[in-house]
Amino acid sequence: MTDLVLSDSLAAARRRLEAALADAGRAPDAARLLAVSKTKPAAMIREAHRLGQRDFGENYLQEALDKQVELADLDDIVWHFIGPLQSNKTRDVAGHFAWVHSLDREKIARRLSEQRPDDLPPLNVCLQVNISDETSKSGVSLAELPSLAEAVMAMPRLRLRGLMAIPAPADDPIAQRTPFARLREALATLRQRFPEAGLDTLSMGMSGDLEAAIQEGATQVRLGTAIFGARDRSA
């Protein structure tokens, strides 16, 4: 980590995303880079911001709130909450983030909508889908996805944007694509069913599987290690 130069790794991540989009025959701006800064100090976020990065993803609420206080002068940062979400965290998430990627329960959604402050625009949300089944406890099942989506779309202070997934790790790029394809199909089905909803987001792809996710239509990739280096604790 000591030899990591953030300007180099961020530039490399941008080139990697550009190359993946070109390989997939997609437009250069068809996917956004979300920098996952969990466990990394506020100073690194400040440096990435200086280098033009604006979207940052955090998993741990208290850690994120602390960094937001330190970085309060950077008023154009877009904060994304991507970690597990329990009832006791919804008020702070609703008040301090622009996006939530990890919504998977109606009860949590209702709290977020009720607690979203009036002076902020509606909270952008993605529903986290459990596409590799047994291995993960989080995420709504494909079977329950349509009813959860419909419920969330009716909530006045939430804006449903799309779907997110964290598939079980796989090394082989072909195997990596299967769950991403499933998420893409799930979004296509929802878009057909709710054509007016403006569902435009597939949040998928991390440092180990960005290319596969881009091949399958990711519009936001969440890169941590590739930008900030390895994390000290497994997170």
Q: Which residue ranges make up the site for ligand PLP (CB under 6 A)?
A: 36, 38, 59, 82, 166, 206-208, 222-226
Q: What are phi and psi of 72, to 5 degrees?
A: -60, -25
Closest approach of ligand PLP to the CB of residue 46, in Å: 19
Q: Output 113 or 228, the one with its CB closest to ligand PLP.
A: 228
Cα-flanking dihedrals φ and ψ of residue 11, to 5°? -65, -40
Amino acid symbol at 157? R
**Where do we find the tokens 């008023």?**
75
Q: Which of 165, 156, 161, 220 is nearest to 194 (CA)?
A: 161
Q: Tell me which residue has its CB nearest to ligand PLP.
A: 224
How near is the Cβ of 171 to ligand PLP at its closest, in Å? 13
User: % helix / strand / coil in the chain, to the nearest 5?
Assistant: 45, 15, 40
154 or 230, CB closer to ligand PLP?
Answer: 230
Which residue is listed with tokens 């419920």? 151
- Least distance (Å) between residue 211 CB and ligand PLP: 13
Output 171 or 192, the one with its CB closest to ligand PLP. 171
Nearest-approach distance from CB 118 to ligand PLP, in angstroms: 29
